């Protein structure tokens, strides 16, 4: 069984979008822990609503590439606009940050809110 930490963020109907993403993900794998959600200012393009960010720790039999593909599928199903600016508003953003014991997303080191959320879900180990 693989253990992963997934970051999640939204600034379009943020709480509802995050709740929906969690519900969709629970159909595919076991969600072990969900972090507190943190409000953050937008990065880059600042003329947009605040983001709501968090992380969840999961257990899955999927391989990393399968999980990543599923996360992108969930984003698409929820209406993620892939043509929007990189730092623009988004209904949902799902990324694998930790795969088993390896940090695979450099944003962990660059964004304190992400590091705090990831560390929170890993603290139950």
Q: What are the tokens at 81?
A: 């606009």
Radius of gyration of the chain measured on its C-alpha atoms: 14
Q: Does residue 105 carry a catalytic annotation?
A: no
Which tokens hold the place of 65? 């590439």
Identify the active-site residue in 13, 93, 107, 116: 93
Q: What is the DSSP-derived secondary structure letter of residue 25?
A: H
Task: Specify the DSSP element, H or E, that contains 6.
Answer: strand 2-10
Asked if 35 and 52 count as a contact pair (C-beta separation under 8 A), the reply is: no
Measured in residues, the chain has a length of: 125
Instruction: Identify whether 90 is a catalytic site residue.
Output: yes
> Taking a C-beta distance cutoff of 8 angstroms, is the pair 51, 89 a contact?
no
- Is 95 a residue of the active site? yes
Placement of tokens 């599923």 in the chain: 70
Q: Which residues are catalytic?
A: 80, 90, 93, 95
């Amino acid at each position: 069984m693989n253990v992963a930490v997934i970051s999640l963020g939204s600034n379009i109907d943020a709480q509802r979008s995050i709740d929906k993403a969690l519900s969709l993900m629970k159909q595919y794998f076991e969600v072990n822990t969900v972090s507190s959600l943190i409000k953050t200012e937008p990065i880059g393009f600042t003329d947009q609503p605040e983001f709501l960010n968090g992380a969840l720790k999961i257990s899955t039999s999927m391989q990393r590439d399968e999980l990543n593909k599923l996360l992108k599928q969930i984003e698409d199903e929820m209406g993620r606009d892939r043509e929007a600016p990189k730092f623009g508003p988004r209904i949902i953003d799902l990324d694998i940050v930790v795969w088993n014991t390896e940090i695979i997303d450099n944003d962990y080191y660059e964004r304190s809110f992400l590091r705090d959320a990831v560390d929170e879900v890993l603290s139950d180990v």
